[in-house]
Amino acid sequence: MLSQRKGKARPVCPKTGNPLKHQGKHRWLKWIFPIGGLLALLWFLLRVIPKPSRATYPCQRVAFPLASGFALWLAGAISSVAAFRKAKRCLAQSRYILCVILIAVSVGSVWFVQSMTAEKTVFADEPTANAPIGVARGIHPGRVVWVHDPDATDWAGPGDGHWWQSNHTDQAVVDEMMSRAIMALSGEKNDAAAWDRLFEHFNQTNGKEKSGYKKGEKIVVKVNYVGCIQVWSRRPVAGIDDYNLRNADYMNTSPQMIIALLRQLVNEAGVNEADITVGDTLCYFPNEFYNMCHEEFPNVRYLEYLGKFGRTAAKLSSVPFYWSTPDAAGKKQDYVPASYAEAAYLINLANLKSHNDQAGITLCAKNHYGSLVRKPARLSGYYDMHKDLPYNTPGMGCYRPLVDLMGHKHLGGKTLLYLIDGLYAGKHAKERAPRKWNSPPFNGDWSSSLFASQDPIAIDAVGFDFLWNEWDDGPHKSGTNDYLIEAALADKPPSGTFYDPDHKGNVNRLASLGVYEHWNNPADKQYSRNLGTGKGIELVKQTGTVKSTASFLVSSGGK
């Protein structure tokens, strides 16, 4: 509608009929984004190019999204205008086919920029600091031990052999890291006593008598060999018939970390080799890793998807696994691996990685995506675990299948110890090799870390904080930490889901699986138990090399 005033038509509000206020004085607003974006880009480049580590500074983390958005907008605008002008000339010259193509390019440039900038809107704000939820677990509730020793890693990068070779990863230092982690987690002063304490606490907490490890009890060590995954491949089995390692620099669980753990279990905890199973049900156990482990521990069972060349084949038990979502109705029934059902204990040995095409991060919980023996849903009719991950279902307060995996009695329910191998952290599945870290204390070196906990949520929460601080892509995806909140509040989750992976239908709702919390800041890395302000996470830091320290003590304050 229009109103007449001094011979000029003015727009009016269709609801009230009142003339709309003149908008000319606000025309300057349209320049806010271009000017702000240009300034942000200049600021980012001037600060980061001389010193790349500044990219992790808070001010640069704020400037980068605006700067990158401006750069995309400018590139799209220039491309669109150039294509449109050429299209006009082609039309005047009666070159109609080329004209149509150029118009499509012009429109496509605008669409591409809009889609890219829209993608940025689904990234999450930083979680609230020091606001713990859930019920902490462990001898020392909520304790997560972080051991950082740069002497463990010495690799120049791709082209300098491979990171897992003995001249690039120091087995003796990794052994020491594992020992430090186990003692700091339990609070004991030697390895044997530490394992006794861990087993006693686990058994007592799970309704058994307070006892340590008993001879003959079986233990499964679930590692992450996603770089060797085969059940997803459409290639014939003959393609990997030699079992030599493909993707040689991929971020798999390191053989040195596996050997360090096996030495602890056999030599300190008193477990017979034949009672230990280590591997990944969906992957082949490559020769390079197998030979290193098998040489020292020939009687350990090395689990993989086929069971060739002396390995143990993954098989299903009769123990069902149920998904707590209606979307699983009518799908093929999942079952727990036989080795898991037979075991008394499980150790979850994950990797420190982001997950840039599905989950945002992949730590201990996501490690269990390799615990179900089956081909992918698109090929086999099973429930699709990936559709409820953050890249497909962003946001908070959603059903998360990771909670079911964490809570099933034969998976999370049997887990004695949670470990994250952070020697060479990387980005799955976006990149083929690990990345050095810029944030302190790494300062351009490998992450060279090991994390340990008895609390499945606390350890992933700490891993999430480290990944969130280092990289601004996958870990920042909206919904990445939703599974941690759902699991911490599993008895009353924000999504309203009745999590019960052990039964068909809603029978026994899971209790809280642990405690979730975000640290106070990346510099101090302190949680509520470190600060004495709450009953959340306690980060115990074992940082620095053993060579530079006369002795190390358990640091209960995370100092």
Instruction: Give per-residue pLDDT as tens, 219-236.
Output: 999 999 999 987 655 454
Closest of 87, 124, 127 to residue 107, by C-alpha = 87
Query: Residue 303: how many CA atoms within 13 Å on its side-chain side?
Result: 27
Alpha-helical (H) ranges within 372-428 are: 377-380, 401-407
Q: What is the predicted pLDDT for the residue at 6? A: 42
The neighbour count for residue 498, using CB atoms within 10 Å, is 16
Contact criterion met (CB below 8 Å) for 399 and 138: no
List, for the chain, all residue ranges whose pLDDT scores fall below the cut of 70: 1-34, 36-37, 40, 43-44, 47-48, 50-70, 72-74, 76-77, 80, 83, 87, 94, 96, 102, 106-122, 231-240, 546-559
The neighbour count for residue 475, using CB atoms within 10 Å, is 25
* Cα–Cα–Cα angle for 335, 336, 337, rounded to 5 degrees: 115
Closest of 235, 225, 271 to residue 428, by C-alpha = 225
What is the widest separation between alpha-carbon atoms in the chain? Answer: 99
Q: What is the predicted pLDDT for the residue at 232? A: 56
Cα separation, 79 vs 334, in Å, equals 50
Contact partners, residue 234, CB within 8 Å, separation at least 6:
none
Cα separation, 26 vs 3, in Å, equals 21
Q: What is the predicted pLDDT for the residue at 102? A: 64
Contact partners, residue 301, CB within 8 Å, separation at least 6:
274, 276, 277, 278, 279, 312, 339
Q: What is the predicted pLDDT for the residue at 290? A: 97
Cα separation, 193 vs 177, in Å, equals 17
Query: Residue 524: how many CA atoms within 13 Å on its side-chain side?
Result: 13
Write down the pTM of the prediction: 0.79
Q: What is the predicted pLDDT for the residue at 523? A: 95
Contact criterion met (CB below 8 Å) for 200 and 186: no
Q: What is the predicted pLDDT for the residue at 348? A: 98
Q: What is the predicted pLDDT for the residue at 552? A: 38
State the Rg of the chain over Cα. 27
Q: Which residues pair with 39 in a beta bridge?
A: none
Task: Give the distance from CA 211 to its chain's centroid.
Answer: 34
Cα separation, 398 vs 497, in Å, equals 8
Task: Give the distance from CA 235 to its chain's centroid.
Answer: 27
